Chain A
Amino acid sequence: MRKLLNTLFITTSNVYLTLKGETVVVSQEEDVLGRIPLHNLEAICTFGYAGASPMLMHACAEKNVSLTFLNAHGKFLARVIGESKGNVVLRKTQYRISDSEIASAKIARNFIFAKVANQKWILERATRDNPLRIDVPAFKQVSERLLEDLKKILACEDLELLRGLEGQAASAYFGLFDQMILQQKEAFYFKTRNRRPPTDNINALLSFIYTLLAKDVSAALETVGLDAYVGFLHRDRPGRASLALDVMEELRGVIADRFVLKVINKKMLDEKDFIRKEDGAVLLTDEGRKKFLQAWQERKQETLTHPFLKEKINWGLVPHAQAMLLARHLRGDLEEYPPFLWK
């Protein structure tokens, strides 16, 4: 499996990246701030309007280092993609399935199944770990409800119905989300999911982590030769990485939500790391963003045993493992796509 190396995050906006030999040079006007050998990197991610030289872009594309530009708020702007891999057969299969609602639903079902199963597991973990802090009967009730939803999802081969089931399950799960925030309750609370712009601290963190995860999933899909923009559950929309969003469904709760809860419950961030704009939008401060990214990097290095492959990998490689499994399913090696089911 791919080695998980570091992501270089550029959080200052007036920084320029160039390539000298095999080394990425980070500079600000005349000053060189740092040099990192390209082969030590798996990804480069810039915030604000940092620039990068075409040479560097080319080297990244060639060496499979993902290079992504986000704006200062963490909104996705652009990504460098090189010459696409020659895997025409795989892509054509992907397009054929995407064109058929019925065939798409078979794969979409597994994404949704895993999403809900993982949400259920998060709730169960909370009842086990913090029975005195949460409303256990309410958690049990929702968990049982999600079990019923899972049974329905497994039998469902209709995209519209699947989306409906997914939506209901998500609102039941998010209905309990606030209770899983155990620290700093005055500053961190959750009412409903809101975005564009997020208007409270938790939603700001959720939006940000989803963007980071989506970028990792896109890169993983492109690495195995899939087209991140052609999805099964999410239909085509210009500029939207639909397949990345599909695969992300099963990873949102188990990777992103849990990470946000951990950061707050372990007090790795506090109220001072956020600012509220005049329009009500909530943003991370530069300092807050740095802490958050640092914690995210560390999280990605932690290991787990992949539930289907039964192999030890880093959390950061989970998107790669799923992309690989999806590709192998599309090529006919597996009768179904095995989603990431955490337990």
Chain B
Amino acid sequence: MGINEEDYLMLSGIQHFRFCARQWALIHVEQQWEENVRTIEGQYVHQKVDQPFIREKRLDKLIVRAMPVKSHELRTTGICDVVEFIQDPAGISLINEVGKFRVVPVEYKRGKPKKEEEDIMQLVAQAMCLEEMLACEVPVGYFFYDEIKRREEIQITEAHKEEVRQLFKQMHHYFTRQHTPKVKMGKHCKSCSLENLCMPILNEKQDVKSYMRRYLV
């Protein structure tokens, strides 16, 4: 099969999908999203893409912001908030740079540490993109918490990677069929910004026929 990058899915979708498959489908398959999600994400992404490829050099580090990445294996494209290239004799060489580097993705998070599985999936997916693009190993990544200005290390394990592969496989499957999975109402619905669009309560509703028959009296 040839590579048709048109079919590639948005990397950031993995966090939606891990959170709730239906939420992901509403956003990425149906492209319905409520104003708040859209504006917030929009602004956020904007800040980032406004300064792509500003390379910052510090002593032993090269910092690249808003770096576009992709993976042919996962069939996804996305943007890494920050990728750090750290001098390391055991690393890889980069075009136009002297020396060898280790590759480390850093994902910025607003607020305090509260790492959810879905965030980790996103970071792992980014790491997998980097590994594929740069032919290297990316064993760790970081979350950087805006509010407390602290970072937290995440080990990128083979188990994580396998989960990411499985998730993308399912996402592609749904996407090809343009299918929106039915509601699985749970406590995650409480914190879901798409609740109004999704109407999870529909699940518990009487069927429409009996709703209408009630009026025949």
Contact across chains for B208 and A63 when beta carbons are under 8 A apart: no
Tell whether A333 pairs with B183 under 8 Å between CB atoms, given A63-B35, A89-B29. Answer: yes
Are A110 and B29 in contact (CB-based, < 8 A)?
no
> Within 8 Å CB of A339, what residues of B?
212
Knowing A1-B196, A64-B35, A89-B29, say if A343 contacts B215 (CB, 8 Å): yes
Q: A63-B35, A86-B31, A224-B32 are in contact. Are A308 and B205 (CB under 8 A)?
A: yes
For the complex, what is the distance from the CA of A224 to the CA of B183, rounded to whole Å?
18
Does B94 make an interface contact (CB < 8 A)?
no
B208 and A338: CB pair below 8 A?
yes
Closest to B207 in A: A335
Cα distance, A343 to B215, chains bound together (Å): 9
Q: Are B197 and A324 in contact (CB under 8 A)?
A: yes
Cβ–Cβ < 8 Å partners of B197 in chain A: 224, 324
A138 / chain B contacts, CB cutoff of 8 Å:
none
A309 in contact with B32 (CB, 8 Å): no
**A85 & B216 in contact (Cβ 8 Å cutoff):** no
Give the docked Cα–Cα distance between A338 and B202 (Å).
11
Complex contact A341–B178 (CB within 8 A): no
Given A150-B216, A151-B216, A343-B215, are A89 and B178 neighbors across the interface (CB < 8 Å)?
yes
Known: A324-B197, A335-B208, A336-B209. A87 touches B30 (CB 8 A): yes
* B212 in contact with A154 (CB, 8 Å): yes
Q: Interface code B24-62, partner A: CB below 8 Å = 1, 0 otherwise? A: 000001111001000000000000000000000000000
- The residues of B that contact A150 with a CB separation of less than 8 Å are 215-216
Bound complex: CA A1 to CA B205 (Å): 18
Is the pair B216, A154 in contact by a Cβ cutoff of 8 Å?
yes
- Please state if A85 and B211 are interface contacts (CB–CB under 8 Å): no
A240 at the interface (CB under 8 A from B): no
A62-96 interface bits toward B, Cβ cutoff 8 Å, 1 = contact, 0 = none: 01100000000000000000000111111000000
User: In the complex, which residues of chain B have a beta carbon less than 8 angstroms from the beta carbon of A154?
Assistant: 212-213, 216
Assuming A225-B32, A324-B197, is B212 touching A341 (CB within 8 A)?
yes
| CB interface residues, A 308-343, toward B, < 8 Å | 308-309, 311, 324-325, 328, 331-339, 341, 343
Separation of A156 and B81 alpha carbons in the complex (Å) = 58
Closest to B178 in A: A89
Chain A binding surface, main DSSP class: loop
Chain A window 89-118, contacts with chain B (Cβ cutoff 8 Å), 1 for yes, 0 for no? 110000000000000000000100100010
- A272 part of interface (Cβ distance < 8 Å): no
A110 to B213, CA, bound (A): 11
Residue of B nearest to A336 (CB): B208
State whether A87 touches B207 (Cβ < 8 A): no
Partner of B208, one of A85, A151, A334: A334
Shortest B12–chain A CB gap in Å is 16
Which residues of chain B have C-beta atoms less than 8 A from A86's C-beta?
A: 31
| CB-defined contacts of B199 to chain A, threshold 8 Å | 309, 324-325, 328, 333
> Cβ of A337 and Cβ of B208 under 8 Å apart?
yes
8 Å CB contact of A117 from B29, B35, B201, B215: B215
Tell me the complex Cα distance, A25–B118, Å.
44
Nearest Cβ distance between residue B77 and chain A, in whole angstroms? Answer: 17
Please, what's the 1-or-0 string for B154-188, where 1 marks a CB less than 8 Å from any CB in chain A? Answer: 00000000000000000000000010101100000
The 3 tightest CB contacts between A and B, nearest first, are A86-B31, A336-B208, A338-B208
Supply 10 further A-B pairs (C-beta < 8 A) apart from A85-B31, A117-B215: A87-B30, A88-B31, A89-B29, A113-B212, A154-B213, A154-B216, A225-B30, A308-B211, A338-B211, A341-B214
11 contacts between A and B (CB under 8 A): A110-B208, A113-B215, A151-B216, A154-B216, A224-B197, A225-B31, A309-B199, A325-B199, A334-B202, A334-B208, A336-B207
